[in-house]
Structure 1
Amino acid sequence: MIIYFLVFLLSFIFSFILTPFVRKFAFKINAIDIPKDERRIHKEPIPRIGGLAILISFIACIFIFSLFQKQIIGISVGAFIIFLGGFLDDLYSLTPKQKILFQIIAALILIAFDVSIKYITIPFDLNESLFIGKFGILLTIIWVVGVTNAMNLIDGLDGLAAGICFISSMFLFFISIISKRYTAIFLTLILAGSSLGFLPYNFNPASIFLGDCGAQLLGFLLSAISIQGAIKSVAFVIIVPILILALPIYDTLFAIIRRKINKRPISEADKGHIHHKLLDMGLSQKQAVLVMYFISFIFGIASVLVMILTPRKSLSVFIIIFSVSLAFAIEFGLLSKE
């Protein structure tokens, strides 16, 4: 257990120390988020390539702890590709198709390094699993691209994406311990420490943003680690990581449905996300973020319950969570016409 603490502590220290230097570098290369429209919550220009500190911290810890397994190399290379695409987007504003291209390439790199979904276990049935062969390639790409974009979309308030990544990483850590996926244990701790080390600079009032490079990086790493840890080994394939990452996933799904209802392009930004609704209720940025942390924590607890309860009780937990989420979406207008 001491080694686990050291991994977490070192990644935290790296990220915490590196972030001020990344902030200065962002000013030098003019990687600044200037509030140009009403969708922006902040009012002052803020540097936005904070993901660089998290990437360096993540890679440095992999080298220090000699984590050179084939799958980890694939995750690291894919993470760099995702970061590069996000970095270029932060500087030059890529088109949606260009962003997706980087994400698909990163997902294909994971697959090439044997980080992919190979089996589907029937939800809430401990004994039945199905080898899905080439369909796993498509499912892996959908999962990676989906979670990567979900984290990017939810990054709308100071400290929101980084905090949710920390919470999700810690629950993936617990799930990986239960399922004895030791590689995933180390990766979740590195990601959790790196996210938490960045958070003091990103929490309201933020002095630096993750940027697309950072938000996409966090989403990619969460998706890849969940494949390597949770999806690959536990009984309730797909269900557990979906619950852990439910907040960004649901917010993204609601956004897609909402934009379809309003006949808008899926890639077009709006102010209908969960955090916008919380602000409309009169909550401050800090209060809205803390509420979303709490919701993410509840989803994480649900994922653990699904892991440890009997299939019937696990199904009950999932139905309750799904029903409450849908009722919440309808009540707060996440699916309504404008």
Structure 2
Amino acid sequence: MFDFFWVPVTAFLVAATAVLLLRPVAFAGGLLDRPDARKRHEGAIPLVGGIAVTIGVWVGCHLFLRTQGYYVALLGGVTVLAVVGWVDDLYGMSPVTKLGAQLFAAILMTSWGNVYLESLGDLFGRREIELANWGIPLTLFAVVSVINAMNMCDGLDGLAGGLALIILAWFAYLAGEVGNAPAQRVCVIFCGAIAGFLVFNLRNPPPAAE
């Protein structure tokens, strides 16, 4: 328990520090998100949250995972999404280009990490539904869908980050229940890094990063 206390705290501190260091760069470079009809946050916000969380996750995983294994593919996919998000915020990207980048990140998981759905379980109480050759296509569809679902939530201070924190905390609990310590640790690292970003999205003081 004491060990897991330091895992999220370290990721939290790294992400929070990254936000503080990147904020002046964002203001200087005009990397700011301003409210509009869809986005209801308050004031111009530096768009450094994704990069800061990614840095926190990278540092946390390298410090606290004994073996990286297929989690290297996860880190690669997360980094691709963070960079694409940053470029899109700064210069703008077409929907097709963003979709291609999201697919590429998902393919890293399925083809490099060799992680994909093999079964849907016994959904109808008759027998296990095995996906066979449909496993990878369905996994790619699911991953891209989740990415865009989270993007659609990103319009209110702390909403997308808060949802991600709740989901990953639940995943950490489930990983602990099935005895998958590495997966639990990765989820806890993500929780810490996201929390380090979310403290800057509190209403008081005003949000400082997105």
Q: TM-score scaled by structure 1?
A: 0.58
Are the aligned partners of 1:173 and 1:185 in contact in 2 as well (CA < 8 Å)?
A: yes
The alpha-carbon deviation at position 124 of structure 1 amounts to 6.7
Are the aligned partners of 1:74 and 1:115 in contact in 2 as well (CA < 8 Å)?
A: no
Q: Distance in 2 between matches of 1:131 and 1:70?
A: 25
The 1:3/1:42 distance shift into structure 2, 3 A limit, reads closer
Q: Helix, strand or coil for the counterpart of 2:120?
A: strand
Are the aligned partners of 1:117 and 1:139 in contact in 2 as well (CA < 8 Å)?
A: yes
- Correspondences of 1:1-338 after superposition (within 5 Å): 1-35=1-35, 37-42=36-41, 44-112=43-111, 113-123=113-123, 125=125, 128-204=127-203, 205-209=206-210
Are the aligned partners of 2:9 and 2:192 in contact in 1 as well (CA < 8 Å)?
A: yes
Structure 1 unpaired stretches of 5+ = 210-338
Are the aligned partners of 1:85 and 1:102 in contact in 2 as well (CA < 8 Å)?
A: yes
The alpha-carbon deviation at position 175 of structure 1 amounts to 1.0
The 1:103/1:156 distance shift into structure 2, 3 A limit, reads same
Q: TM-score scaled by structure 2?
A: 0.91
The alpha-carbon deviation at position 106 of structure 1 amounts to 0.4
Are the aligned partners of 2:117 and 2:136 in contact in 1 as well (CA < 8 Å)?
A: yes
The alpha-carbon deviation at position 25 of structure 1 amounts to 2.0
Q: Helix, strand or coil for the counterpart of 2:114?
A: coil
Amino acid at match of 2:195: L
Q: Distance in 2 between matches of 1:45 and 1:53?
A: 18
The alpha-carbon deviation at position 130 of structure 1 amounts to 3.6
Higher relative contact order by CA 8 Å / sep ≥ 6: 1 or 2?
A: 2
Amino acid at match of 2:39: R
The alignment-based identity, stated in percent, is 29
The number of aligned residues is 207
Q: Distance in 2 between matches of 1:70 and 1:134?
A: 24
Structure 2 unpaired stretches of 5+ = none
Q: Distance in 2 between matches of 1:177 and 1:80?
A: 26
